Structure 1
């Protein structure tokens, strides 16, 4: 499966590389787009869960790295959920 790194900028300006075991992440996000934090977390949940399930279908077990990445996204995003104007920008995709 082709892996992908997607780079995001959090509302505090910090940039982070995030991992996906599948290119499916591109079906959920667009490079250059801003997403409200709650929406970003929701979309990341759907994308990384789908990617992990693709790994399960192919290899018989879920992708623990994708699920770990989702936990990091949830944890980081939780710091900004009380700010209604906070946005996460998806900067780029690299495979």
Structure 2
């Protein structure tokens, strides 16, 4: 199963590199796009859940790394819930062997 990483910038400018065990994230995030916080979290939640489910289908159990990544994103996003017009920017979509996907 091809894994990937995606780099984001939070509303405060802090950058974070995130993990997915599947390239499905590319269907939900676009490099260079700033998403409203709730939209970003919906996309990340959907993509990482699908990725974890794909691992479960193949290996018989959900992907703890994907679910842990989602939990970290949820916790960080909670800090910005009261920030007007908070956005998360997708800076890069990366694979270990290829670098940037776009």
Q: TM-score range by the shorter chain?
A: over 0.9
Runs of 4+ in 1 over 6 A off after TM superposition: none
1:64 has 2:60 as partner: no
**Distance in 1 separating the partners of 2:50 and 2:84:** 27
Q: Which runs of 5+ in 1 are unaligned?
A: none
Q: TM-score, length-normalised on structure 1? A: 0.97
Offset, 1:81: 1.2
Offset, 1:84: 2.7
Q: 2:99 matched to which residue of 1?
A: none
Alignment of 1:4-83 (within 5 A): 4-83=4-83
**Distance in 1 separating the partners of 2:18 and 2:60:** 23
Aligned residues: 95
Q: TM-score, length-normalised on structure 2? A: 0.91
* Aligned-residue RMSD, C-alpha: 0.6
Aligned to 2:70, the other structure's residue is in SS state helix
